Amino acid sequence: MLGLIAAGSKGNMLDQLLSFLKSTGTEELNSLSSQLVTLVFADGGSLGGPRLSFANGVWIDRSLCLKPKFKEIVDNAYKAAARNVDCQTKAVEVTKEVNLWAEKETSGLIKEFFHLAQLMVLRGSLLQMRFILKDHGMRSLMLRKQ
């Protein structure tokens, strides 16, 4: 997940993430993730081996969308779901949708990934982060307004 965040970051935040992950760049992280997703999470159940599952997704308020380059990274390198949802007026439905998706993706292992209260806190945090970025003249490489 930190690699995905790094893929959409720049400046000091990117430098800190790359340092923490001991990586030379986002291309390296994206390539590593793509290889890991393909190899580690292959379904070995039919061969008597393990079947690992994971739920990797980016859920974005419908007022925003992923920038095309970041969307490509989400889809191809991280094999993550990307969905636009109405967090502003349909938080209860979004919570249910995310939970059903996570349950399906993990073959029932994760039944409740999100609580409504968590979505509200996250929504507030993201709005606050957008204002902080804007106040400091920074732009996101991940999102753009619809």
Band of residue 31 on the pLDDT scale cut at 50, 70, 90? confident
pLDDT tens track for 91-140: 888 888 888 988 998 888 888 877 765 665 555 555 545 544 555 444 45
Q: Tokens 């990117």, residue?
A: 14
Q: Please give the model's pTM, rounded to 2 decimal places.
A: 0.60
Please report, for the domain that includes residue 66, its CATH number. Answer: 3.30.497.10
CA-closest candidate to residue 114, choices 97, 137, 135, 138: 97
The count of residues in the chain is: 146
Single-letter code of the amino acid located at 142: M
Are 114 and 85 a contacting pair, CB within 8 Å?
no
DSSP structure class, residue 39:
H
Higher pLDDT, 131 or 36: 36
Tokens of 129: 């982060």
Domain count, the chain: 1
- State the chain's mean pLDDT as an integer: 75
Quote the pLDDT of residue 76: 86
Phi then psi for 53, rounded to 5 degrees?
A: -135, 155
- Please give the average per-residue pLDDT across 72-93, as a whole number: 86
Tell me the residue range of the domain where 110 lies: 2-145
**For position 42, what pLDDT does the model report?**
64
The pairing of strands 64-66 and 143-145 is antiparallel
The alpha carbon of residue 102 and the mean position of all alpha carbons in its chain are separated, in whole angstroms, by 13
Cβ–Cβ < 8 Å for 62, 146:
yes
Portion of the chain with pLDDT greater than 70, in percent? 68
Is the Cβ–Cβ distance between 57 and 80 less than 8 Å? yes
Type of residue found at 51: R
Which pLDDT band, with edges at 50, 70 and 90, does 69 fall under?
Answer: confident
pLDDT in the model for residue 36: 76
d(CA 77, CA 71): 10
Does the pLDDT of residue 19 top 60, yes or no? yes
pLDDT exceeds cutoff 80 at 143: no
CA angle 6, 8, 10 (to 5 degrees): 75
